[in-house]
Chain A
Amino acid sequence: MRIGIDVGGTNTDAVLMDGTTVLAAVKTATTRDVTSGITTALDELKRQRAFDPAAVNAVMIGTTHFINALVEADRLAPTAAVRLGLPSTASLPPMVDWPERLVKAISGRAYLCHGGHEFDGRHIAELREDEILKVAEEIDKHGIRSVAISSVFSPVNAEFEQRAAEILAAQLPGIAVSLSSEVGRMGLLERENATIINASLRELADRIVDGLAETLAAAGIRAPLYLSQNDGTLMDVDFARRYPVATFASGPTNSMRGAAFLSGVDTCAVVDVGGTTSDIGVLQNGFPREATTEVSVAGIRTNFRMPDVLSLGIGGGSRVRETGGKVTVGPDSVGYRLVEKALVFGGDTLTATDVAVAAGRAEIGDPSLVRGVVDRSLAEAALRRIAEDIADAIERMRTSPDPLPVVAVGGGSILLPDSFGDSGRVHRPDHFAVANAIGAAIAQIGGMVDRIFPVEPGQRRAVLDAAKQEAVDRAIAAGAKPGSVRVVEVDEVPLAYLPGNATRIRVKAVGDLQVEAVRG
């Protein structure tokens, strides 16, 4: 048995699962301290379905706590950024493109030292121990407790970052060190930004992880604890303490994966229709496609791996209007005030929910307030508009011409038609309200490779095979059961203007948790 928990901004959801069967599912309110909400959720689970805490093999938790801390610029630790790259990169020092408010929130200090690699692995400059020692002094003097280290081309070679981390750790016992080579990919400033954000969250991560472990122990659960990552795989608590930033987008990822799991499809589009927006994502082999472009978080440009999600301003509360014979839906919405503003609830505003009820798609509020009142052709036109816009968004998110099943979730999914183009019948899974927690519970262990490889003529297959093996090895090292690991994603992009047919290769492998395999 495993327990999946999703700690969102509003609700804490939990599920108890045995293999692929959901034994119990509960929804409780998130508490400010996070942990008492989890305790309540575990109690509720037990009430619904008594279980022996010792029979739980693993607990998986997805949380938006860390990204919220950044967005609120609250609970962040004083942080130093040390970049190894001199004499290059000095014109754009760390945090050069940050909002001033966030630099202040982390009392950010930036240091530039010699080091870094060229694209082909040569050293730009040797690492200078004396410079790192001087930085250590400064860090100590300013009472900084967390350090982000970046080095030019560290995705190709991380030796300088690791060496600098050793020196700092020796000088400053207890200092938290985050390495950019572990956080992001090519693109120095964006990778460094993600690393600095990570560093600023390290103390919070310690507090949260300690709190979670104590909470589970108090409930008698001795099973290992894992946190959900952005890409739908798990990290153990030691990794979570070091890389809290990897939880940032776990919410939408778990939601999509949970919905797909409930529908029994692993390659599909997931349309989550809320009150104000519809979020559309695509799963390939059960994992969300990642955004290839830079992602801005709280006004900071980063390049860590986030699911590619397209948001449209269409939701249950979207306002419907007719002007000059043209029917529009959204993008403005009555939002959470749907229950007082919508016509079906006695309000005065025509919303998407009203047209769905008027057209007989759903029974919400008092249907008599709209049926025969709202013009039928207007309702049909509004629903057609919604169907077209969503279909268009799904089309844009597709990655191949093969038919793509559609899974609809969220309170506003009544707005959607029964089928989209060649997708067949829209899947509408039950229990989607706890899809996030299910997404956490079903997660696996992953291994990733994302680097520039020289690909000599005739060597493409050998290079790809080596990259795949490395991803598999990494998954196993992270705790995956060896026989269960499979490669789920391979992407290669040749790079312009680099000699030796340089190609960026990304491979992702995933496997089942070793712990569960051992315990059967």
Chain B
Amino acid sequence: MAERLITEADLDDLAVGAAILGTGGGGDPHIGRLLAGAAVRAHGPAEIVPLDQVPDDAATFMVAMMGAPTVMVEKVPSIEQVAAAVRALARYLGVEPTHVVCAEAGGVNALVPVVAAAQLGLPVIDADAMGRAFPELQMVIPTLYGITATPMSIADEKGNQGIFDTIDNHWAERLARSATIDMGCSAMISLYPMDGATARKALVPGTVSLCAELGRIVREARAGHRDPVAAVVDRLGGAELFTGKVVDVARRTEGGFARGEATLTGTGGDTGVEFTLRFQNEHLVAVRDGTVVASVPDLICVLDAETGTAITTETLRYGQRVRVIAAPCDPRWHSPEGVELVGPRYFGYDHDPVRIPTEVAA
């Protein structure tokens, strides 16, 4: 793939695709899309480089928003804040950054690296650390390689910055989460500093351009009166699990995480089928007529039945017509260490992961 630029014209597609890979969580990419637009207008387009072209001695800096998406739509982040997080970590490490890395290719965090790259004048690597969205910062492929999240930086919009150097990634998550709350529940972080050789090994390739491609696929399918959901399933090599209507949504919050369960009833070819989605910010487990048919770490995406627009767990409500699809995650998530980190049991569900079926029973 030739080197190319992310321009303002690409951002709408990127946001649509990021919402799909957000698997119901990750925050509405809309505000990220606006920020990226502002950054690109102010500083010019961001260069995107394929993962395999990153040199061994590159100094890569991952960047992400941490906090509550509901806060971010109110206390809108600044683009300077994103670059400040990268600069703070670079200063601590005494390293000049060469590349920006996406932590999470789903939700708002798919757009945040574009903001940083445009402002810092650095290329963004076409890759991310999850291949989807997950709620906690240790839930990344680099963790499986023993790479630590810290030293990491955190920056708010007031100019406050902090560095954490922790004994493990769980501590990094815990301390950063506390600081984020004090910073008003919305902060920018830079973490998992890696050299190029490590990044090539420990990231999920192609996911930033995948977001843009998914957005384009959906847009073109709609314009051509083709089925956008089928086009997405096809591109992700996934499976369509269910078509139906939301008939009940039960939510509760536990420790700052919105947990819940949605009940759906089948329509069309799935008439008579009962389907359950279990979620905790992201969709985690899909149950068809009492049998788990998909679960983390694979991707479970709920899309509007007609438009293919991703529906977040916060906006799920009675009456929505949806199609539930699943897509394979990066295979490394299915290793024993991966399953321990992001499998169903970590989220409190007492079963092993169920990998997506290649065919769904009719």
Contact across chains for B80 and A91 when beta carbons are under 8 A apart:
yes
Mask of A489-504 contacts with B, CB within 8 angstroms, 1/0: 0000111111101111
CA distance A88 to B73 in the complex (A): 12
Given contacts A92-B76, A116-B75, A124-B75, contact A496 B70 (CB under 8 A): yes
Contact partner of B73 (CB less than 8 A), chosen from A116, A118, A187, A292, is: A187
A residues in contact with B69, CB < 8 Å:
496-497
A415 contacts chain B at the CB level, 8 A cutoff: no
Binds A, one of B86-94, B317-325, B338-346, B351-359: B317-325
B291 contacts chain A at the CB level, 8 A cutoff: no
| A/B interface sample: 10 pairs, CB < 8 A | A92-B34, A124-B184, A125-B158, A152-B74, A187-B74, A188-B76, A397-B319, A496-B25, A496-B281, A497-B70
- A90, A116, A452, A496: residue with the most chain B Cβ atoms closer than 10 Å: A496
B7 contacts chain A at the CB level, 8 A cutoff: no
Mask of A117-140 contacts with B, CB within 8 angstroms, 1/0: 011101011000000000000000
A160 contacts chain B at the CB level, 8 A cutoff: no
Contact across chains for B78 and A90 when beta carbons are under 8 A apart:
yes
Q: How far is the CB of A499 from chain B (nearest CB, A)?
A: 5
A87 contacts chain B at the CB level, 8 A cutoff: yes
A residues in contact with B73, CB < 8 Å:
186-189
Contact across chains for B158 and A87 when beta carbons are under 8 A apart:
yes
Contact partner of B256 (CB less than 8 A), chosen from A97, A395, A499, is: A499
Mask of A229-254 contacts with B, CB within 8 angstroms, 1/0: 00000000000000000000000000
B residues in contact with A498, CB < 8 Å:
68, 70-71, 185, 256
B residues in contact with A401, CB < 8 Å:
247
B residues in contact with A495, CB < 8 Å:
68, 70, 253, 258, 314
Contact partner of B75 (CB less than 8 A), chosen from A153, A496, A502, is: A153
Contact across chains for B70 and A186 when beta carbons are under 8 A apart:
yes
A399 contacts chain B at the CB level, 8 A cutoff: yes
Q: How far is the CB of B305 from chain A (nearest CB, A)?
A: 9
B35 contacts chain A at the CB level, 8 A cutoff: yes
A109 contacts chain B at the CB level, 8 A cutoff: no
Interface hits, B153-186 → A, CB 8 Å: 157-159, 181, 184-185
Name 20 extra pairs, CB < 8 A, besides A187-B73, A396-B245, A501-B256.
A87-B159, A88-B158, A91-B38, A91-B77, A116-B75, A118-B184, A119-B185, A122-B184, A124-B75, A124-B158, A153-B74, A189-B73, A400-B318, A401-B247, A493-B314, A494-B251, A494-B252, A494-B258, A498-B71, A498-B256
A96 contacts chain B at the CB level, 8 A cutoff: yes
Mask of A99-127 contacts with B, CB within 8 angstroms, 1/0: 00000000000000000101110101100
B residues in contact with A89, CB < 8 Å:
75-76, 78, 157
Q: How far is the CB of B220 from chain A (nearest CB, A)?
A: 20
Given contacts A88-B157, A188-B76, A501-B253, contact A398 B185 (CB under 8 A): no
B79 contacts chain A at the CB level, 8 A cutoff: yes
CA distance A116 to B78 in the complex (A): 15
Of chain A, the residue at the smallest CB distance from B74 is: A188
B335 contacts chain A at the CB level, 8 A cutoff: no
Q: How far is the CB of B179 from chain A (nearest CB, A)?
A: 12
Given contacts A186-B70, A497-B68, contact A118 B245 (CB under 8 A): no
A85 contacts chain B at the CB level, 8 A cutoff: yes
Of chain A, the residue at the smallest CB distance from B180 is: A497
B228 contacts chain A at the CB level, 8 A cutoff: no
CA distance A328 to B315 in the complex (A): 32
Contact across chains for A118 and B75 when beta carbons are under 8 A apart:
yes
Chain B: interface size category: 35 or more
Contact across chains for B256 and A497 when beta carbons are under 8 A apart:
yes
Top 4 A-B pairs ranked by shortest CB distance?
A497-B68, A494-B253, A88-B157, A118-B184
Interface hits, B292-340 → A, CB 8 Å: 313-315, 317-321
CA distance A293 to B313 in the complex (A): 14
CA distance A153 to B34 in the complex (A): 19
Mask of B17-55 contacts with A, CB within 8 angstroms, 1/0: 000000001000001001100110000000000000000
A residues in contact with B39, CB < 8 Å:
91
B257 contacts chain A at the CB level, 8 A cutoff: yes
Contact across chains for A499 and B181 when beta carbons are under 8 A apart:
yes
Q: How far is the CB of A390 from chain B (nearest CB, A)?
A: 15
Contact across chains for A496 and B314 when beta carbons are under 8 A apart:
yes
Mask of A276-298 contacts with B, CB within 8 angstroms, 1/0: 00000000000000001100000
B67 contacts chain A at the CB level, 8 A cutoff: yes
CA distance A187 to B31 in the complex (A): 10
CA distance A125 to B258 in the complex (A): 30
Contact across chains for A92 and B70 when beta carbons are under 8 A apart:
no
CA distance A398 to B318 in the complex (A): 7
Q: How far is the CB of B280 from chain A (nearest CB, A)?
A: 9
CA distance A178 to B248 in the complex (A): 39
B residues in contact with A90, CB < 8 Å:
78, 80
A residues in contact with B25, CB < 8 Å:
496
CA distance A91 to B135 in the complex (A): 26
Q: How far is the CB of A482 from chain B (nearest CB, A)?
A: 33
A residues in contact with B184, CB < 8 Å:
118-120, 122, 124
CA distance A396 to B256 in the complex (A): 31
A residues in contact with B76, CB < 8 Å:
85, 88-89, 91-92, 152, 188-189
Interface hits, A433-491 → B, CB 8 Å: 452
Mask of A172-201 contacts with B, CB within 8 angstroms, 1/0: 000000000000001111000000000000
CA distance A493 to B315 in the complex (A): 9
Of chain B, the residue at the smallest CB distance from A188 is: B74
Contact across chains for B34 and A85 when beta carbons are under 8 A apart:
no
Q: How far is the CB of B198 from chain A (nearest CB, A)?
A: 29
Mask of A390-406 contacts with B, CB within 8 angstroms, 1/0: 00000111111100000
- A89, A125, A493, A497: residue with the most chain B Cβ atoms closer than 10 Å: A497
Given contacts A91-B79, A496-B314, contact A503 B38 (CB under 8 A): no
CA distance A186 to B74 in the complex (A): 6
Contact across chains for B34 and A497 when beta carbons are under 8 A apart:
no
CA distance A88 to B69 in the complex (A): 15
CA distance A399 to B170 in the complex (A): 41
